[in-house]
Amino acid sequence: MNVEIGEVTKRFGRTFAVAGVSLETGPGVLGLLGPNGAGKTTLLRMMATLIPPSSGSVRLLGRDPAGYGPRREIRRRLGYLPQNLGYYPGFTVAEFVEYFALLKEMPPGRVPQAVATAIERVELGGRARAKLRTLSGGMLRRAGIAQAIVNEPELLLLDEPTAGLDPEQRVAFRALLRDLGQRATVIVSTHLVEDVGAACSQVALMDAGQIVFHGTPDELAAGGEGSGAAGDAPLERGYSAVLAAHRSAGAAA
Amino acid sequence: MTTAGLHRPAPGTVPARAAGARRQRAAAGCRLVRLYLVSRRVPVALALLAGLGAVLWAALHWRWNIAGGPAAREFIPLTIQTGAAAVIAVASYGPFGEPERAAGRWLPWLRLGAAVALTAIAFGILAAGAAAGRMPGGTLALLRDLGGMTGIGLLSAAVLGGAFGWVGPMVYLLIIEGALAHRSVTPWVWPARPPHDRGGAICACLVVAAALVLIAVRGPRESSRESGRAS
Amino acid sequence: MTAATSTPVRHRSPRVTWAVPRGARLLRVELLRSAMPWILPLIAALFWFDSYRPSTATAPLYGVRTFWNMGQGHTISDCGPFVAGVAAWMGSRDARRGLADLVTATARPRWAAQLVTWAATAIWAVAAYLLFACVMFASYAREGVGGTPPWWWVAVGATAVIAFSAAGFAVGAYWPSRFAAAVAAFGAAIAMYLSFQIGFSHASGWALILPTNSNGNFDGSALTDAGIFYRWLPDLPIARMMFLAGIAMAALGLTGLPGRAGGRRLRLGAAAVTLAGLTLAGTAVGLVRTADVTAHGVVIPALHDSSSDTPISYTPACGRAAGVAVCLNPAYRRWLPDVTAALAPVLAEVAGLPGAPVRATQVPAAYAGGSLVITMGGHPTVLHLSLGQLNLPGPCGFCAGPVAANQFIGWIRLLFAQSFVGAGQGAGRPAQQAVGAVLLRGAGIPFAAQPGLMASAENFAGPVSAGCPADTKTGCGPGPSTGAVYAAAGRLAAMPATARRAWLAGHLAGVRAGRVALRDLP
């Protein structure tokens, strides 16, 4: 298992952004669904070793990120794309990806090839020398994906990766995810249910800081059958149904 | 469409609804001004200006301009005025970029008003700080020098971008230093001229006027990628 | 996006041998994209306008040329605020661009990444500073400026640039606000101008450590022969470099203290760097408090190397004045004709008289002045000229105007006359004044012109103006050309030359000793 999370909570003041989450996953693509404020980003940031949990245990790639040495080892094998991606406008695409390859302590001799490969994989090869300030929003997002995958990570965390991508690019991105998921653990936080359906072998649904569903997309879709829940597609109806059931169970309690 | 429900006010009275609308507009205007100032980090700028006033007070009270000829004695206060001008210039730009520029007609007035108000506040703060001792040149020189320096800062923001609005005043400070040391007489280096000098005052006013017009009409230079990231 | 795969990466713990190339690659990216180069043309323009151009209006000697730009630190003030401001901009970059999280989530400690960013910023700034200084000195060399460049002070300036960049970077890293660059630039400016101001009133002690304090590194009157007769002493520059390096270390160490900077051990290391920097700076201040101002500059005993006391050997440039050899340091070669023209008539006047010099040689000016410009002594009598204390013919920097050759010649003759009659620093006793006046008249300066000449030479010759406070040693000046002193001088000058020379031969010793009164003159 690359990700082993046990009863993790994260508290900000009096608010529990993550309120007792347990999750185990290995190679493959896990979709993380949930409404705004469900705690997806906070959970992802904990897995990215940016913030420690308030309680509970986290093991990533067989290591405890609480220790500096193990955390550094995790980060060498980690790829992370945050929801709000910043960038240095004066950098070119290649420099941006190279910069993060070097920060991830990739062997220097492998960096140029890795950078070129990553840029090609996100179909920015023709814009490798373009300054980031000249790119459209979707291209910037792809540059962000490139920096996340440049080191062939064993754990890849993507927060809203397809924001700004056109439909054709989203299709290609899903194929990339499936390929990456063959060797690595990929966790994708997204609002786009169709991305989950197309690329993910597992899906976890979060609400109010807790995981309320963990299974396959088919199982999630089945949860919406005959429920009368809102949605234009089976997965959307399953999503709505599971959320509604969790919330009504919570209200009853 | 009918006239049902249309109320005509009695002649000479202000209908309550119109008065309420005016109050709402005034309140909205105040809110707009407040939000504009907050977006430009004006509260932080005011705190920095207050700090500069304190530095000026300390400099005059403890006689930091302790030695050297008259030119050297002017220099610490001039440096502090440069700092104030730099703060005002940097506070001129906003984080929104094109959406703000496309939004409506109030932006030039907001820019102009903010620049003038900040300059006036800076003058008040530094004049208060100057109460600690004899400010070289007195209040009149302070007004001329600070105003002109702020004009240079705003021009610098218009050309280089708000984030680098501090560059112009710093360059000008070094030019003043050279002019003071070499006893230059050009009115374009107005801090080197006597307080009541007309030429220096005219040049400073020209710079301020040009800067205010430019900032009001065009605003500080912004790159399309700077918006949304300015802190 | 494609699903093309590459072979899986086998990660190994990086060995130290990988660190340099990876760091070098990071540095290369940062150097290419640093914001510092954008401000360098502006700094170059300021350097030319504020550091170089004013220096060309001074005498072509390194000590004089570099008093304004190196001694008073204008090369530093032209760079410092802008370097600090841009460094603050770079220090705040990650937070401003919303990349702090992303950079933190990488393996390389955030502090290490920040240090690389800072290093690129500093490299640009220092390289530019050194380039500007070298271009300036190359221009001086092409012009034939005398002496040797003050390279130690160039090194101090470069270290100051590093310190400003580090301090500015720390400001930006801790406070990623839009105002950080302005605050850093202002802070640098006010620090330098305070340092400069303090130099006017504190010529010793702790204040010597301040980088734009001109006392102690250059003579306050900018007329030293450092780099001409004696070497530029490195003691004070070394102490200042220690101080500035300490500030830089402390500032950079501070950026490694926050929790996100890295692991616990790294942050402890950053704390150690901070403490080491503060210790280094404090040590430098302590060392400079032990400084002594010697004739050749500031000596700090703990840092002093006696080899720097070795005088600079040279082959003198010589001419002749009234048959007397006049030899100057080759740095002053261009003024040899003026010196020989000045001395020829006075040497001719005193030729054969007791105490007439048989040779004239230049001696170095001492730090903080105080010594006489012209002295005579020894057997046989040698005339010693301390030209470094005089304003030389030509551009004069902050004088009212350039020094005319005949003005310089007049000063030399006046100072010669004062020295010959034993007046020393100051106008001397009335009889000495009268004899001196006669010598000057014989050298071509009529009595009517002599009071004005003395007034113009007051800085070198001592108080001579009428109404000056009475001083039993130096007295006041000879007064107006219609006064008693000039009347007595007139009587002496009216004697036949042979009789006058005979009287002088018999009475010069008494005149010099002050035993001859005005009424004793014939």
Nearest-angstrom CA–CA distance, B131 and B138: 10
What secondary structure, in 3-state letters, does B80-125 show?
A: HHHHHHHHHHHCCCCCCCHHHHCCCCCHHHHHHHHHHHHHHHHHHH
Residue C425: per-residue pLDDT: 65
Query: What percentage of residues in chain C have a pLDDT greater than 70?
Result: 89
Please calculate the CA angle C235-C240-C245 and round it to the nearest 5 degrees. Answer: 125
Domain boundaries, chain C: 22-309, 317-520
- Express each pLDDT in C28-79 by its tens digit: 999 998 999 999 999 999 999 889 998 998 889 998 899 888 888 899 999 9
Q: Is the pLDDT of residue B7 over 80?
A: no
- Chain B residues in contact with C177 by the CB 8 A cut-off are 41, 44, 231
Which of B98, B223, B224, B225 to probe the A interface (max A CBs under 10 A)?
B225
Which of C94, C97, C99, C179 to mutate: most B Cβ within 10 Å? C179
- Select the more confidently predicted residue: C64 or B7: C64
Other residues' Cβ atoms within 10 Å of the Cβ of residue A42 = 22
Q: How far apart are CA C145 and CA C398, in angstroms?
A: 18
Report the amino acid identity of residue A45.
R
Whether residue B34 has pLDDT greater than 60: yes
pLDDT tens digits, C118-130: 999 999 999 999 9
* Nearest-CA distance A72 → chain C (Å): 5
pLDDT of residue B136: 78
A137 touches chain B (CB under 8 A): no
DSSP C308: G
> Is the per-residue pLDDT at C466 higher than 50?
no
**pLDDT at residue C16 tops 90:** no
Secondary structure in 3-state letters for C387-453: HHHCCCCECCCCCCCCECHHHHHHHHHHHHHHHHCCCCCCCCCHHHHHHHHHHHHHCCCCHHHHHHH
Query: C509 CB near a chain B CB, below 8 Å?
Result: no
Torsion angles phi and psi, residue A13, rounded to 5: 65, -120
Residues of A in contact with B95 (CB under 8 A): none
Answer yes or no: pTM beyond 0.95: no
- Collapse the DSSP code of A22 into the 3-class scheme (helix H, G, I; strand E, B; otherwise coil) and give the result: strand
When pLDDT is cut at 50, 70 and 90, the band that residue C460 belongs to is: low
Token pair listed for C470: 């009475």
Chain C residues inside the 8 Å CB shell of A76: 11, 107
Put simply, whether B231 touches A (Cβ < 8 Å) is no
> Which residue shows structure tokens 């992370």?
A80
Q: DSSP class of residue C360?
A: E
B27–chain C nearest CA distance, Å: 29
Angle at which helix A93-103 crosses helix C16-33, to 10 degrees, equals 150
Contacts of B193 (CB under 8 A, 6+ apart): B185, B187, B199, B200
* pLDDT one-digit tens code per residue, B213-226: 999 988 999 764 44
Which positions ≥6 away from C439 have C-beta within 8 Å?
C346, C349, C350, C416, C417, C420, C421
> What is the interface pTM, i.e. ipTM, of the complex?
0.88
Provide mean pLDDT across the span C277-306. 92
What is the CATH architecture assignment of A1-61+155-253? 3-Layer(aba) Sandwich (3.40)
pLDDT for C319 beyond 90: yes
Q: Which of chain C's residues have a Cβ under 8 Å away from the Cβ of A176? A: 1-3
**Largest Cα–Cα separation, chain C:** 117
Q: How far is B82 from chain C, CA to nearest CA, in Å?
A: 8
> Is the model's pLDDT at C389 over the cut of 80?
yes
Q: Is C183 an 8 Å CB contact of chain B?
A: yes
CA distance A30 to chain C (A): 18
- A89 chain-B contacts, CB cut-off 8 A: 223, 225-226
- pLDDT tops 90 at residue C226: no
Longest dimension (CA), chain A: 60
Task: Please say whether the beta carbons of B45 and B153 come within 8 A.
Answer: no
Asked if the Cβ–Cβ distance from B229 to A133 is below 8 Å, we say no
Residue closest to C213 by CA, chosen among A98, B109, B150, B66? B66
Tell which C residues from 355 to 414 touch B, by Cβ distance under 8 Å: 398
| Cα atoms in the 13 Å half-sphere on the side-chain side of C264 | 4
Report the amino acid identity of residue A80. Answer: Y
In chain C, what residues touch B44 (CB-CB under 8 Å)?
A: 177, 179
The CA distance from B229 to the nearest CA of chain A, in Å, is 8
Q: Taking 80 as the threshold, does the pLDDT of residue B11 lie above it?
A: no
Domain ranges of chain A: 1-61+155-253, 84-153
